[in-house]
Amino acid sequence: MNIVYRALRILIKIYTDIRDRITPGWSQKNSSRIREWELMAYAFSKSKIGVLGGFMVFITVVLAIIGPIISWEPYWIYKTITDPKLMYLPPCLPPWCSGRPILGTDEWGRDIVAMSLYGFRISFVISIVVVFFGSVIGIVLGLVSGYKGGVVDEIIMRLTDIFMAFPSLILAIAFAAVLPSRIRGFLGENIWFRNILSTIFGLRPQEYPQLAALLSVWIAMVVVWWPGYTRIIRGTVLSVREHPFIEAAKLCGLSTWRILVKHILPNVLSPVIVMITFDMATATLFAASLSFLGLGPQEPVPELGYMISKAGRYFPERSLHVVAYLGLVLLFIALGWNLLGDALRDVLDPRTRRALEFREEKV
Amino acid sequence: MGLAHYLARRVITFIPTLIGVLLITYIVAYAIPADPVRAWVGEKLLNREALEMVRKKYKFDAPWYEQFAFFVQQLLTGQLEDPIRYRNVFSEIFFRFGITVELALISFLFLVAIGIPLGIVAAMKKDSPVDFFVRIFALIGSSLPSFVLYYFLILILFVYYRTTSLAGIPLPSQTCTDFISSLPNQIPVLGYIVSAIGSVPMFGAAMCGEGGVVVETFRRLYLPALALALLSGGFIARIVRNSILDVMGSEFILYAKARGLSKLKIWGHALKNAMIPIVTVLGLNFGGLLSGAVIAENVFNIPGIGKYMYDAITRLNFPVIIASTFLVALIYLVVNFVVDIIYAVIDPRIRY
Amino acid sequence: MQSSGEKVVLNDGEVLRVEKLEVRFYTYAGVVHAVSNVSFYVREGETIALVGETGCGKTITTRAITKLIESPGRIESGIALFRRRNGQIVDLLKLDDEEIRKIRGDEIAYVFQDPSAALDPLYTVGYHFIETVKAHRNNVSKKNIIYLAIKLLREVAIPSPEVRVKNYPHELSGGMRQRSVIAISLSNMPKLLIADEPTTNLDVTIQAQILELLQELQKRYGMSMILITHNLGVVAETANRVYVMYAGKIVEEGNCETIFYNSAHPYTQLLLKAVPNPLKKIEKLESIPGTVPSLINPPPGCRFHPRCPFAMDICRKEEPPKIKLDDNHYVFCWLYTKR
């Protein structure tokens, strides 16, 4: 069979073994669920788009983790101050040319490939945190709003309306413009927090004003991110709530929270997973857009959007290669997540899965 | 009565939303630690009295709620003044908004022209190379950093082939503008409406018969409009495709076939039913375009509402931020409202 | 099986004769043998019933007759002779798209299973009539069609039909929608009406009404009818002859009484024990062990053998032949072969 399927099955096996270790007999009790997972794994492995997307996401994540560690050039050294000729060196591909960075340099004479490795980390950290907090807040509010109804629902929906009525980029810009100076003071005082942040972003603690900017991008994006989830979850909950099994659960005397978490949440999970995957791409591009507009970190942080906006000033005469390469990096990250999400949407749809079941019996 | 009642109720829910938007804008703006007045007046005019005067004028010496009430009152009476340009905020906003409307309309035309036919073809030829192309086009469109696309479009269509310009905005002649702004005085109610429509430069020019300006506007704006449409065209096409396929798989289409209806009739049923989700997405998209494409307006140097808001934020221009956020929120609500009305027109089931 | 060399003819008094119909679905999971070697006929003015569990190919069989099979599905072979209104006899499966379209909805009409989904929610009931008639007789005026619609709606016992023609589907109750669908299907006075589980989604009281209605209309217009159902009570009430299907094949055919009192095939017998039999007194309902097999790899030999209590060796290897037990009573089962 195929490698992807085998790898995914091993992952499922590991997970069930762990669950079995914790609560013996778990895998027997959940055998139909495990079978469902295996079917999903099979359907996924058959999707070329999904496998390609998964591969690209894998590379993105690996580079995000090891990028700042393997990067061969420190980002904080402004080489052009001593040697102005290094500014925007054109690409230098091995057979024809050697001794210079392969894809050229940026305005400070730094190797753009080395810089993009830091960029992978920064944009990954921003997007995953934003999507995580945004989706958690959105899901909780959506569940409560959809299930409780009445006044609570009305208040939450008005609140989401307010936040959705803002153009998200403008609201984020406003937050990103207002927050940094406050956060900067906080980071200046709390050295431990500064250290944690700098490790997460792969930057030096000295850059704490820039860390403050990154943190404010986080907050700004979370603020505009949750309403989308709230809307979708609420809609799904409203339709799930009508099913007889919820009525049955209520009659059994289950508490509201138990019904929400045990019975409603699993039913809204697959659209949420798909949405989260797509949102990783959107958040990456959104963060890049904010820093492109100059509202993210500043010098010397090699954030992808910021580097493109700087290179834009010399576009296209001197910096075509910088814009093209860094643009491709962003495209690569976002496309990976989008391809993965597109395939997951098919795989998580029970209709396509059921069509596959027959084949499985034959194999 | 049902529909009118529903619509009235919807309009009433606008009010808390708009107040909320204003309040949040105000809080965000209030949280700015720097002294906005200092930023407005500028370093060179640092004389104490002038500063104090401005401060008094905008109630910066009063408690926050009084200040907020002052802003809201000024906003609703249309007296808010841009403290940097010393002009009425609304005249500036209407001018900027007119340009954004031009960009949004042209872009929307491209979007519909790209998205709907592609979606229909993809649905007709499901699982064919065309369908696959639409899927990839949609995925790349939503994965491309917009500003990079803008740069490269500028490189090709402006730097290499000078098919457009990146400076200024074509405006109708002064006599034309004067004529249009005098309309409300001449015709009672209709005059206001016509004048509002005419405040979009392109439409104003068309009303005065200045066709050259309209052509120039297209030449100036087609590139950013096309770029915006390329980014979401594939996505729209996918939505169109999926909703058509959803409908085509439904029972009533099969029954239509069983009744011996012609292919054309059956597609008619499918398209009309598929319109409901398509209208939503197109409506939201148009609303997004109307609230200003900040990045596109910045890169292509278009003095629209998005760029105006962006400049206002970076310069801490309070009154402008509040007024323009208010406007944009209002647009969002109105667009949603219009989408709902279109629903009710298409779908007889919706009778609130 | 015999070669297709033998000539199929439509006997006098028959409207439709289907021979050796074969429908497969080419899903990417594999080939589904949805309908295999199905033959049956319908006489003028007669009602036949196709009976069987869900997923046994009843619906697909009837849809294949007018080539209403969607893309992964394909009609592999078979003949479906149909006597048209003008007396001409055609093989429906050999007609091109336009010719078959002209027959659909005009001479052969369908009533589908789910009444709430069969009408386009965006159009009025009257519009459906207009469309259906105009598709076949373009010269009829809209006004006349609406008159006809009101008359038909009244015949299917819809109160105040003058109002109802102007209603949208969602403004009607489930029962009314089903009756409207029946009326729409009748709007071209078809020769053959195919009613696919016409009562499944309805209240018991309405079920009876609809069935009575169908019988009455059938008599009045001299239609033939194919009734698809898994409800044996319905069969007993309406059908002249019954075809029992299992896993894409016909296993037994016979008159209604024969099937209920003298059923021969083990599947039919078990099926009768599994439902409250309207014609017989049974103490206890039984279920048939096992499930309908996957039609991607149908079991070799008789398709029922995995669940059959009398399965023999030969059942697992060879397909059972068609055996005549009586006039009009045939069974496909090895139990009845003479050695």
CATH number for the domain including C294?
3.40.50.300
What is the pLDDT at residue A3?
A: 83
Tell me which residue in A355, A356, A358 faces C294 most closely, judged by beta carbons: A358
pLDDT per residue as tens digits for the range A276-332: 999 999 999 998 988 888 887 887 888 888 888 888 887 777 788 888 899 999 999
Asked if the Cβ–Cβ distance from B146 to A289 is below 8 Å, we say yes
pLDDT per residue as tens digits for the range B118-143: 999 998 888 788 888 998 999 999 89
Which among A46, A351, A358, A362 is the top mutation candidate for probing chain C, defined by the most C β-carbons within 10 Å of its own β-carbon?
A358
Asked if the Cβ–Cβ distance from A357 to C296 is below 8 Å, we say no
Question: What's the full length of chain C, in residues?
Answer: 339
Tell me which residue in C122, C136, C181 faces B347 most closely, judged by beta carbons: C122
The answer to the question of residue C209 being in a domain is: yes
What is d(CA B78, CA B211) in angstroms, rounded to the nearest whole number?
Answer: 33
What is the pLDDT at residue B111?
A: 93
What is d(CA A271, CA A274) in angstroms, rounded to the nearest whole number?
Answer: 5
Predicted TM-score (pTM) of the model is: 0.83
Question: Averaged over B215-230, what is the pLDDT?
Answer: 88
Question: If we measure between CA atoms, which residue out of B265, B270, B119 comes closest to residue C121?
Answer: B270
C132 and B CB contact within 8 Å:
yes
Alpha carbon A335 to chain centroid distance?
Answer: 12
Beta-bridge partner residues of C104: C108
Tell me which residue in C123, C135, C168 faces B260 most closely, judged by beta carbons: C135
Angle at the Cα of A109 from the Cα atoms of A107 and A112, rounded to 5 degrees: 85
For A363, the closest chain C residue by CA position comes to C29
Phi first, then psi: give them for residue A296, nearest 5 degrees.
Answer: -100, -150
The alpha carbons of chain C give a radius of gyration, in whole angstroms, of 21
Asked if the Cβ–Cβ distance from B142 to A334 is below 8 Å, we say yes
Tell me which residue in B252, B262, B346 faces C120 most closely, judged by beta carbons: B252
Give contacts of A 234-293 with B, CB under 8 A. 278, 281-282, 285, 288-289, 292-293
What is the pLDDT at residue B39?
A: 65
What is the pLDDT at residue C283?
A: 57
What is d(CA B338, CA B231) in angstroms, rounded to the nearest whole number?
Answer: 24
Residue C57: left if φ>0, alpha if ψ -120 to 50, beta else—which one? left
Q: How confident is the model at residue B46 (pLDDT cuts 50, 70, 90)?
A: low
What is d(CA A203, CA A184) in angstroms, rounded to the nearest whole number?
Answer: 16
What is d(CA B129, CA B126) in angstroms, rounded to the nearest whole number?
Answer: 9
Q: Which of A155-164, B164-173, C87-96, C124-133 has the highest mean pLDDT?
A: C124-133
What is d(CA C161, CA C149) in angstroms, rounded to the nearest whole number?
Answer: 8
Tell me which residue in A167, A182, A335 faces B33 most closely, judged by beta carbons: A182
What is d(CA C147, CA C169) in angstroms, rounded to the nearest whole number?
Answer: 19
C1 and B CB contact within 8 Å:
no
Q: Within a 10 A sphere around the Cβ of A284, how many other Cβ atoms? A: 27
Task: Taking the CA atoms of A266, A271, A274 and A280 in sequence, report the sign of the dihedral they define.
Answer: negative
What is d(CA C254, CA C256) in angstroms, rounded to the nearest whole number?
Answer: 6
The answer to the question of residue C285 being in a domain is: yes
Query: Maximum CA pair distance of chain B?
Result: 85
CB B218 within 8 A of CB B118: no
Tell me which residue in B251, B260, B272 faces C112 most closely, judged by beta carbons: B251
Beta-bridge partner residues of C51: C229, C244
Q: Within a 10 A sphere around the Cβ of A248, how many other Cβ atoms? A: 11
Query: In chain C, which residues have their Cβ closer than 8 Å to the Cβ of A354?
Result: none
H/E element holding C21?
Answer: strand C14-27
Neighbors of chain A with 3 or more C-beta pairs under 8 Å: B, C
Question: If we measure between CA atoms, which residue out of C108, C260, C132 comes closest to residue C190?
Answer: C108
Neighbors of chain C with 3 or more C-beta pairs under 8 Å: A, B
C291 and A CB contact within 8 Å:
no
Asked whether the predicted pLDDT for residue C277 surpasses 60, the reply is no
Domain hosting residue C33, numbered range:
14-107+190-336
Distance from the Cα of C27 to chain A's closest Cα (Å) equals 8
What is d(CA A138, CA A227) in angstroms, rounded to the nearest whole number?
Answer: 6
Q: How confident is the model at residue B292 (pLDDT cuts 50, 70, 90)?
A: confident
- Sorted by sequence, the CB contacts under 8 Å of residue A236 that are 6+ apart come out as A146, A267, A268, A271
Q: How confident is the model at residue C276 (pLDDT cuts 50, 70, 90)?
A: low
CB B298 within 8 A of CB B307: yes
Q: How far is residue C208 from each of residues C48, C118, C157, C202, measured CA to CA in Å?
A: 18, 21, 13, 10
Tell me which residue in B17, B139, B159 faces A316 most closely, judged by beta carbons: B159
Position A29: which residue type? Answer: K
H/E element holding C51?
Answer: strand C47-51
Question: If we measure between CA atoms, which residue out of C154, C145, C101 comes closest to residue C127?
Answer: C145
Task: Taking the CA atoms of C266, C267, C273 and C279 in sequence, report the sign of the dihedral they define.
Answer: negative
Q: Which residue has the higher pLDDT, C193 or A148?
A: C193
What is d(CA C17, CA C114) in angstroms, rounded to the nearest whole number?
Answer: 27
For A359, the closest chain C residue by CA position comes to C29
- Sorted by sequence, the CB contacts under 8 Å of residue C250 that are 6+ apart come out as C38, C39, C40, C243, C244, C332
pLDDT per residue as tens digits for the range A99-109: 777 777 887 77
CB B115 within 8 A of CB B231: no
**Domains in chain B, please, with CATH?**
89-172+210-314 (1.10.3720.10)
H/E element holding B16?
Answer: helix B2-30
Q: How far is residue C33 from each of residues A356, C3, C38, measured CA to CA in Å?
A: 16, 20, 12
Question: Averaged over B31-43, what is the pLDDT?
Answer: 64
For A341, the closest chain B residue by CA position comes to B139
Name the 3-class secondary structure at B51. helix
Question: Averaged over C282-307, what is the pLDDT?
Answer: 73
Query: In chain B, which residues have their Cβ closer than 8 Å to the Cβ of C135?
Result: 259-262, 265
What is the pLDDT at residue B112?
A: 93
Question: Averaged over B283-304, what is the pLDDT?
Answer: 86
3-state helix, strand, coil in chain B (%, to 5): 80, 0, 20
What is the pLDDT at residue B35?
A: 66
CB B67 within 8 A of CB B74: no
Asked whether the predicted pLDDT for residue B268 surpasses 50, the reply is yes
- Sorted by sequence, the CB contacts under 8 Å of residue B351 that are 6+ apart come out as B2, B3, B344
- For helices A208-241 and A265-292, angle between their N-to-C axes, nearest 10 degrees: 150
Q: How confident is the model at residue C280 (pLDDT cuts 50, 70, 90)?
A: low
Question: If we measure between CA atoms, which residue out of C105, C184, C122, C176 comes closest to residue C151?
Answer: C184
B259 and C CB contact within 8 Å:
yes
Asked whether the predicted pLDDT for residue B213 surpasses 80, the reply is yes
Query: In chain C, which residues have their Cβ closer than 8 Å to the Cβ of B273?
Result: 120-122
Question: If we measure between CA atoms, which residue out of B243, B224, B215 comes closest to residue B115?
Answer: B243
The answer to the question of residue C169 being in a domain is: no
Q: Indicate the CATH number for domain A47-362.
A: 1.10.3720.10
C121 and B CB contact within 8 Å:
yes
What is the pLDDT at residue C201?
A: 67
Tell me which residue in B13, B143, B309 faces A170 most closely, judged by beta carbons: B309
Asked whether the predicted pLDDT for residue C1 surpasses 70, the reply is no
Question: If we measure between CA atoms, which residue out of C205, C277, C309 comes closest to residue C51?
Answer: C277
Which among C25, C26, C27, C71 is the top mutation candidate for probing chain A, defined by the most A β-carbons within 10 Å of its own β-carbon?
C27
**DSSP string covering B268-336, please?**
HHHHHHHHHHHHHHHHHHHHHHHT--HHHHHHTT--SHHHHHHHHHHTT-HHHHHHHHHHHHHHHHHHH
Give contacts of C 46-85 with B, CB under 8 A. 66, 68
Range in B119-133, B163-177, B257-271, C312-326 the model is least confident about? B163-177
Asked if the Cβ–Cβ distance from A173 to B328 is below 8 Å, we say no
Average pLDDT, chain C: 84
Predicted ipTM > 0.95: no
What is d(CA B237, CA B243) in angstroms, rounded to the nearest whole number?
Answer: 10
Asked if the Cβ–Cβ distance from C103 to B262 is below 8 Å, we say no
Task: Taking the CA atoms of A235, A236, A241 and A244 in sequence, report the sign of the dihedral they define.
Answer: positive
Distance from the Cα of C70 to chain A's closest Cα (Å) equals 16
What is d(CA C53, CA B43) in angstroms, rounded to the nearest whole number?
Answer: 86
Asked whether the predicted pLDDT for residue C237 surpasses 60, the reply is yes
- For helices A150-165 and A112-148, angle between their N-to-C axes, nearest 10 degrees: 150
Phi first, then psi: give them for residue A65, nearest 5 degrees.
Answer: -75, -50
Work out how many domains chain C is built from and give that number. Answer: 1
| Tokens matching residue A262 | 């045990």
Query: In chain B, which residues have their Cβ closer than 8 Å to the Cβ of A315?
Result: 151, 155
Where are any strands of DSSP class E within chain A?
none
Place of tokens 């209104």: C85
Position A36: which residue type? Answer: E
Query: In chain B, which residues have their Cβ closer than 8 Å to the Cβ of A170?
Result: 291-292, 294, 306, 309-310, 313, 325, 328
Give contacts of C 132-171 with A, CB under 8 A. none
Distance from the Cα of B196 to chain A's closest Cα (Å) equals 23
Asked whether the predicted pLDDT for residue A336 surpasses 90, the reply is yes
Asked whether the predicted pLDDT for residue A338 surpasses 90, the reply is yes
C30 and A CB contact within 8 Å:
yes
> What percentage of chain C has pLDDT greater than the value 90?
14
| Tokens matching residue C188 | 């071209």
Q: Which of A15-19, B83-87, C203-207 has the highest mean pLDDT?
A: A15-19
Query: In chain A, which residues have their Cβ closer than 8 Å to the Cβ of C28?
Result: 355, 359
Range in A105-109, B237-241, C253-257 the model is least confident about? A105-109
Range in A45-54, B32-41, C18-27 the model is least confident about? B32-41
Angle at the Cα of B349 from the Cα atoms of B347 and B351, rounded to 5 degrees: 100
Distance from the Cα of B83 to chain C's closest Cα (Å) equals 54
Asked whether the predicted pLDDT for residue C2 surpasses 50, the reply is no
Query: In chain A, which residues have their Cβ closer than 8 Å to the Cβ of C294?
Result: 358, 361
Question: Averaged over A187-213, what is the pLDDT?
Answer: 82
Question: Averaged over C84-98, what is the pLDDT?
Answer: 88
Question: If we measure between CA atoms, which residue out of C10, C100, C47, C72 comes closest to residue C237?
Answer: C47
What is d(CA A84, CA A95) in angstroms, rounded to the nearest whole number?
Answer: 26
Asked whether the predicted pLDDT for residue C3 surpasses 50, the reply is no
| Tokens matching residue B91 | 């005249």
What is d(CA C170, CA B347) in angstroms, rounded to the nearest whole number?
Answer: 11
Asked whether the predicted pLDDT for residue C266 surpasses 80, the reply is yes
CA-CA-CA-CA dihedral for A356, A359, A361, A363, to nearest 10: -130
